[in-house]
Structure 1
Amino acid sequence: MRLAEVRIDAVDVGIAAGAVVQALPRPDALAAPPRRTGALAGVVDHGGVLVPVVDLARWVGTGERQDGPHTRILVLRDGDRMLGLRVSAVGGLVDVAPDGIARLHHDDDADEVFHSVARSPETGRVLSVLDVGRLAALACAWRGGAVTMTDAPPLPAAHDRRTYAVLDAGTLRLGVPAGALAEVIAMPSRATIGDGAWCTWRGRHLAIVPPAAVDPALEDAGAGLLAVLEHDGLALGVPVRATLRLADFAPAATVYDDDGAEVRLVDVAALFARRPEAGLSRSAHAAAPAQPSAGKPNDAAYVVFDADGLAATPLDALERVLPLVDTPGATMRWGDRAIPVVDLRRPKQVPAEAGQVLVVRAGERRVACVAARVHVMIPAGGGQLYRLGAGAFITTGEGREQASYRIVDLTTYC
C-alpha cells in the first residue's frame, strides 16, 4: 500500500496515496459558516471549488499546535467526496507491504478515524493510518456530487503520476517534465537582448528566458547552470542553480517535495507559447546579407539594435554581443588580434563609455560595431520582410503593436 506521510502537530500520519488530490499552501484566513460543533476549520479554494477543511486537533489530541511555513491543506478524496485536512508538514510517499499495516482497534467505532498503524520503511516512524471515508462521514463536511465540469476543471487522478526533474532555481524549485529536459550545462557565454539573453547550444541559437518568465516568484539569483528545455523541435534555456533529483508527481500547479519544499511544475507547452524567441533555436542559417521579398516571413532570426535609430541585422552574422566597458577606440582586442571598431551611435546619443558591442563576422574577418543598446530579437518566422524603394525592412506585430525596422548588413563593415 502506498501511503503519503504527513505530520499533524506531533502525530505522524499515513494517508492512502490514492485519496490524496493535492497539497495547497495554507491561506492566511479560512473563512467558513459559523458552526457550534465539529472540526470544520474553514474552506479553501481548489481549482475554483470551495472545499471544507477539517482540523483534527479540534477532535483528538495531536500535541502542541505546529503552524508554520510548512503547514498545508491536504485535499483528500473519498469517492466523489472531497475535503481538506490541515497538516503541519508533508513528507514523501512510502510503500508499505500489506502485512506491514496492523489494525489495533476492531470496534468499528464511527467516531474514530484511526484504527491501524504502519511503520514507514523510509523514516522508521510509526504512522497512524487515516481512514478518509470515516473522516468525511464523521465531519459531515465535504464537497461532493454538486461538483460538475462547469464548477471546476477535472481533477487529475491520484495515480496519474509523471516523472519530473526537480531543479533548484534559487527562490523556489521547478519541476520540469523529464522528457522535456534535454540537458543541464554550465552557464555559457551569453548576450543580453531585451529582457532575456541568447547563446549558442549544439550549433543552434538558444534564447535564455528571464527567470520570472517561468514563474513570477523567481528572481535573477545568479544561477550558474542552464537547463535546456525542448518542445516541438524548439529549445529554450532556463537559468537554475542545481539539479536535485527525479520525482513522480500528479500534475498540478504546485506540489511538494519529500522535504516539504514547494515545487512549481512547469507547463512546457505554455512556456514556449509565451516566448516566441524559442524560434531562434531552429537550424542556424548561413550568414548573408538579407535579400527580402515583399510580404514574406523571415527565414532567419534578426537582432534589433539602437544606433542612430532602430535597425535590424541577421543574428547569424553576430559572433558575440558584449557590454561596452570603455570609450571605444579605433581597434579592439579580440582573441589574439586587434579588430576595427565602428561606432554606429549618433553623437551624444549616450555617454561615450555606455553601449553594447556587436562583434560581426564575415568569413575570417571581424569588426566591432558599437550600438547604444540591443533592443530585441525577432525569431525566424516572427516577422514579415518587405522592400520600400531601395531599402529592406522587417515588420513585427499587428495593429498598435506593429513595428518596422530597417535592415542593415553589418558585414559590409568587415
Structure 2
Amino acid sequence: MDAQTGGALAPHVVVQVGAARIGIPAGCVERALAAPEHYTPLPRRQGALLGMLAVDGVPVPVIDLACWVALAGAVTGGAPSHRRVVLLRAGDRMAALQVDVLEPLAALPASAVQRLCHDDDPEQLFHSAAIVPASGEMLALLEVDHLFDLARSWCAAAGIDVAAVDEDAAGTGQATHSWAVVEAGGELLALRADDVAEVTPMPEHVAFPGGPGVALCTWRDSHLAVLSLARLLGADAARAAPLLAVLRRGEQALGLPIQSVRELRQMPVAPQGVRADAPGRLPCLTVSHDNGETLRLVDTAALFAMHPEASLNLAMQPAAGGGARRNDDTYVVLDAGGKLALPISACEEVLHAAAEDCVPAPAGGATLNWRGATIAVHDLRQPVGGAMRRGKVSLVVLRGEAQPVAVAVDQILSMITPGSAELTCMRRGGESVELLILEEESGSSTYCVADPAALLRRSAASV
C-alpha cells in the first residue's frame, strides 16, 4: 500500500534493524514470526539473501536489510540479535525480513512523507522518509516493490525456482485477513489491521461529560473517545495501559487502551469460534487454539455501532451549556444501519407490518395504507444484497410537515423512560449533536439522538 494522498492516513508497520527504524506499508505485511535459529541454506548465496524459511509449507526468501541501514547511517555496534521475521506479500510474491524489534503501528498522513532520493535506482530500497506525527521520530520507508524485484533476481541467481514458489504461495490455504494481536486488560485481543490507524503512547485524557467509563483525549487536532477496557471486558479493574490503539472506520475513530502489541498474524476470513454480544461488552469472536491460547477477535463494526462517540473525532467540541442532564422525554431505541434514540414525541406510531402491506410506488420507494391514508415509506434498513427479506417489517411513523411518513428500520430495540438516562450535547462545526447515555447493570450504552428530519433526508431504497 502506498502512502495515501490528501488527509488520508496510511498505516505502517514499524520495525527496527540495528539503530534504524523502518516503516513498511501495513497492507503488505502478512504476519510476524519468531525468528528461527537457522535458515535453510542456499546453493549459492546472492545479494542480501540469508536463506529460505518454510512458511505453511512454502519456501520464502529471507532478506537482511543491514547493508541498507548501514548506508543510511545506522549504528550497528556488534552483532544484532534478530528476534523477529516479518512476512511480506503482494499478490503471488512473498518475501521475509529479519528484524530486531517489531514496534506498534504508525499512521502516516501524506504530508508527513518526504522524498529524499529522486532517482529510480532499482538497487535502493529507501527513497522516502516520514516524520511520525505522534512522536516526531523519523522513519525510513521501505520500497516494497523494489524489495520483491531484488528478491526475485537474487533467487534466480542462487538457482531457486521463484515461479514455483509463487505458484505454491498463491494456491495455499483459504482467504485470510491480517490481524494485530495485542495484550489488553490481561486478555489477548485481535484487531483487524485495516481498522488500526495507529498505536500511540497513551495521551492525557479527561472523563467524557455524562459518559460513564468513556474518556476524551486529543488526537490529530480533534477529540477522540477512549473506551473503558474494564467495562468492555467485565473486569473490576484494568491494568495500566501505556498504549492507545486508535481504531478508524471511514471518518470515525475510537481509542482502545492496550498494554502491548504482540504480533501481526494472518487468520481466516471466517474463523470458527464462540460469538459474544452481551450488551455493553466487547463484541468479539473467541477462538481457542491447540496450544491453549485464547484469542478474542474484535468485531470493530459492532464496537463502533455501540459507541456513537466515534464521531467525536470530527472536530467536535462540547456545546455551550452542554453538560449532562437527565432526559425529560421518552426515547425509542432502534437499529437503522446503526443504533439511534428517537424522541417518542416525534412519533405517531410504532408498528410491525406485513411486507406486502408496503406497496412499491411508481416513482420509487413504497407506500403504506395507514389509518385510511396513503403515506410514503422510507427504507433505512441495512442492505441485504440479493437476499429476500422475510417476515414483518418494523415501521416507525413520524410526524411530517404535510403528512406522516413511515420509516422501515432493522429492529425496534427498547424504550428509554424519562429520567433513566443522561443527555449531553456536543458541537461538530456549526451542528449540535446530542448523545443519550444509559447506565445499566450490564454496562453503559450510548446512543446518538436522531433528528427526525435528518432521518427523512437519508437516501432510502424501496421496501
For the superposition of Structure 1 and Structure 2, which TM-score range results when normalised by the shorter chain?
0.3 to 0.5
- Bigger Cα Rg: 1
Using structure 1 for the length normalisation, give the TM-score: 0.41
Using structure 2 for the length normalisation, give the TM-score: 0.37
